[in-house]
Amino acid sequence: MESSSLVPHNDPTLMFTNAGMNQFKDVFTGKEKRDYKRATTSQKCVRAGGKHNDLENVGYTARHHTFFEMLGNFSFGDYFKNDAIAFAWELVTKNFGLSPEKLLVTVHATDEEAAGIWRKVTGFSDEKIIRINSDDNFWRMGDTGPCGPCTEIFYDHGDHIWGGPPGSPEEDGDRFIEIWNNVFMQYEQIDADTRIDLPAQSVDTGMGLERIAATLMGSNSNYDIDIFQAIMTHSADLTGVSFKGDQAPSHKVIADHLRAASFLMADGVMPSNEGRGYVLRRIMRRGMRHAHLLGASEPLMYKLFPTLLSKMGEAYPELGRAGALITETLRSEEERFRVTLERGLKMLDEETARLSGGQNFPGDVAFKLYDTFGFPLDLTQDALKAKNIAVDTAGFDACMEEQKKAARAAWSGSGDTAFGKQWYDFAEKNRDD
């Protein structure tokens, strides 16, 4: 099947498509019947909010993205654990040719059946079949929806890279990288307290294309694959700053966020101050701050779009169809944001210099940066990350609430409350910052 749009249709529980299984959600729950029982896809995904959010890791790890392509195979009441595990092993070791010595797997601590199948299929001892008793091995698409225990395949990139096996204190390092998740879809989460059995036992899998491509190239970094190398080479050419040194994270953030922003716009999302549009604006502005950090003296991201298009336009023709809109939106957003970016960063630096060790960045200043200079909260957080300073988010939220209350009161005082409320909502939605 083709990838579905990044904007999930018919699913109000989801902001963006975050997994290959989203388009099959109703098939898993039995609400929808199709004339096939197996499928495979390469699905566009965005993980920048909600249950699966990788935004803050982007640029700082070798393996996280806001936008990525997820490869998956699906069974709707057809094959289950035995075949799914055997298929997965066959693909990674025979077709992809990965060495079994480099691989290890995890299963949910309660899933002895999966552990037994792995033992039989791989001949692994229990040391390489790691039991995990946490949500890491119980996959859910969101607070509600289909879910089930999962088993993950990890690749060991070698002891020259920091990191430990899954379940160890060093598991977040980049040495042992999860390349494939196989989910045994058995349940549906109806609400926080209710989980029911699905009508059939099914399979959903997710393998990040960027991760497996990098692994097959012998690298642990997704940013070594050709798409990212081409974009980062271009951003290095335009800024005169190498993408290999200290400023590598900025190039990575720009390349990642260019992909996310472009693909979101190609699927009809436009920057705005609420909902999906605000997540898009936040992603764009983070990228733009990093362009500024690289010393770009004029808008940068729109100039990189042709490189992205040359690498991904064939597989995703929607990028080319929306090319003019994407380019112009990136250019005008960056032009506008640059007007306040520099002044906002100056304020951020001054305020940071006032802090003494261990202090949080004040919420009211973060709010002023948001309100006056158009700094989304996560942009401020990203800017402070290198200095290890956290923002007082409760203080930020309190200022936001206060401002909304004041604005509502001003409108309701005008005489026609209902009319005023509508205009307030309209103005808030279309605020030009």
Distance CA 226, CA 277 (A): 29
Contact set for ligand GLY, span 266-305 (CB under 6 A): none
Element (H, E) at 388: none
Residue 74 within binding range of ligand GLY, rule CB under 6 A: no
Smallest distance, Å, CB 107 to ligand GLY? 14
Residue 344 within binding range of ligand GLY, rule CB under 6 A: no
Residue 204 within binding range of ligand GLY, rule CB under 6 A: yes
Residue 210 within binding range of ligand GLY, rule CB under 6 A: no
Residue 262 phi/psi, 5° resolution?
Answer: -65, -45
* Number of residues lying near ligand GLY (CB under 6 A): 7
The residue among 20 and 363 lying less far from ligand GLY, judged by its C-beta, is 20
The residue among 181 and 329 lying less far from ligand GLY, judged by its C-beta, is 181
Task: Show the tokens assigned to 231.
Answer: 């974009």
Residues 6+ apart with CB under 8 A from 7: 16, 17, 267, 268, 269, 276
Among 19, 48, 236, 279, binds ligand GLY (CB under 6 A): 19
Distance CA 391, CA 370 (A): 13
Smallest distance, Å, CB 21 to ligand GLY? 5
The residue among 106 and 239 lying less far from ligand GLY, judged by its C-beta, is 106
Contact 311, 262 (CB under 8 A): no
Q: Is 146 helix (H, G, I), strand (E, B) or coil?
A: strand
Cross-strand partners of 45: 68
Smallest distance, Å, CB 142 to ligand GLY? 11
The residue among 184 and 243 lying less far from ligand GLY, judged by its C-beta, is 184
Contact set for ligand GLY, span 21-50 (CB under 6 A): 21
Give just the sign of the alpha carbon dihedral 372, 375, 378, 381. negative
Which spans in 49-161 are helix H?
Answer: 81-89, 112-122
Residue 183 within binding range of ligand GLY, rule CB under 6 A: yes
Which amino acid is residue 65, in one-letter code? H
Residue 194 phi/psi, 5° resolution?
Answer: -120, 125
Residue 181 within binding range of ligand GLY, rule CB under 6 A: yes
The residue among 122 and 181 lying less far from ligand GLY, judged by its C-beta, is 181
Cross-strand partners of 73: 40
Distance CA 205, CA 190 (A): 22
Q: Is 46 helix (H, G, I), strand (E, B) or coil?
A: strand
Among 49, 59, 148, 206, binds ligand GLY (CB under 6 A): 206
Smallest distance, Å, CB 185 to ligand GLY? 9
The residue among 173 and 206 lying less far from ligand GLY, judged by its C-beta, is 206
Contact set for ligand GLY, span 133-162 (CB under 6 A): 139
Looking at residue 361, what DSSP letter applies? B
Smallest distance, Å, CB 72 to ligand GLY? 7
Binding region for ligand GLY (CB under 6 A): 19, 21, 139, 181, 183, 204, 206
